[in-house]
Amino acid sequence: MKIELTTLEDIVNPEIIKSIDSIKKEKLKSIKCGDEEKANECWRALKAFDLNVLYIRAFNNIKNKRYRDAWNELEKCEINYEFLSENSNEFFLINTRSKFIIDKVIKWQSLYPYCLFVSPGFKVGYYTCSICDHRVRPRSRCGHKKGKIYNGELCLHVAHDMEILEVSIVSTPAQKYSVMHDDATLDFTLIEYISNILESAFEEWDLNRTTMRFPKERFANVRSEDDCPCKSGREFHGCCSDKKEIEIPHIDFILSKSIPPDKEEISFPY
């Protein structure tokens, strides 16, 4: 698939809509006449298109400071990429920018201040295969493998008779949608900084995590009961308050262009 998608406007470009429609038609035709390879090829092209659209939306939401919406789209990108990579080769993933997208999705997620999530635990009565409706049991499986495509359709195990058992609060959730924070109380400085510099969703950037030492005098405004600037999660008193120098986490952003002088300064919160 040739991709010329970069902006939100491109998503509604009549030429692109036309070419996506023709892939959808092609897929239906291939399913009908049993051309499984062609149907799967169409599935891949459509999935890669969806992934690009999702990422462009996420990038725009980040730029417009709608961080929670962007977070959910980044999560969808991750799930989408998983299915795609399971069913495509390396060349396809690079060519459709899918590799670029997953690399950036993980980096954006790492810049979010979210750390607590709600995780529901379920009891599932039984599963069926989405391809053939077979009831999946430990010793009775159909020939379809979960996450693989068959004749242009993704095989999933559909859960039936689900019951919520418990809800727990976790830091590394299986799904990242249920964030437990109020965005208004969080610090999005890092995301804001890098998103102000990036102009296009597909501009190259990277980050490098290090630490930096600052003399204690820079932290004169930190009260002893405040969180320690070293981000240990402990109070300042009893952590770094007696040290001459305090080592704090630092991120270097690596860009393919020089940073405009007005954006060079990052604010120091202490």
Based on C-alpha coordinates, what's the Rg of the chain? Answer: 23
Give the rounded distance of the alpha carbon of 207 from its chain centre: 16
Least Å from the CB of residue 137 to Zn ion: 12
Least Å from the CB of residue 136 to Zn ion: 8
Q: Looking at beta carbons only, is 97 or 144 nearer to Zn ion?
A: 144
Which own/partner pairs from 68-74 qualify as long-range (CB within 8 Å, at least 24 positions apart)?
Answer: 68/179, 68/183, 70/108, 71/109, 71/112, 71/114, 71/176, 71/179, 72/177, 74/105, 74/108, 74/109
Least Å from the CB of residue 239 to Zn ion: 3
Residues of this chain that interact with Zn ion (CB under 5 A) are: 129, 131-132, 134, 142, 144, 228, 230, 232, 239-240
Q: Looking at beta carbons only, is 3 or 156 nearer to Zn ion?
A: 156
Residue pair 82/145 in contact (Cβ under 8 Å)? The answer is no
Residue 99 dihedral angles phi and psi, to the nearest 5°:
-65, -45
Least Å from the CB of residue 129 to Zn ion: 3
Least Å from the CB of residue 225 to Zn ion: 13
- By C-alpha distance, which of 237, 244, 243 is closest to 222? 237
- By C-alpha distance, which of 76, 95, 78, 97 is closest to 86? 78
**In a 3-state reduction of DSSP, which class is residue 100?**
helix
Least Å from the CB of residue 237 to Zn ion: 10
Q: Which whole-number Å values give the CA distances from 90 to 99, 199, 240, in the listed order?
A: 8, 27, 47
Q: Looking at beta carbons only, is 59 or 236 nearer to Zn ion?
A: 236
Q: Looking at beta carbons only, is 194 or 239 nearer to Zn ion?
A: 239
Q: Looking at beta carbons only, is 134 or 181 nearer to Zn ion?
A: 134
Q: Looking at beta carbons only, is 23 or 230 nearer to Zn ion?
A: 230
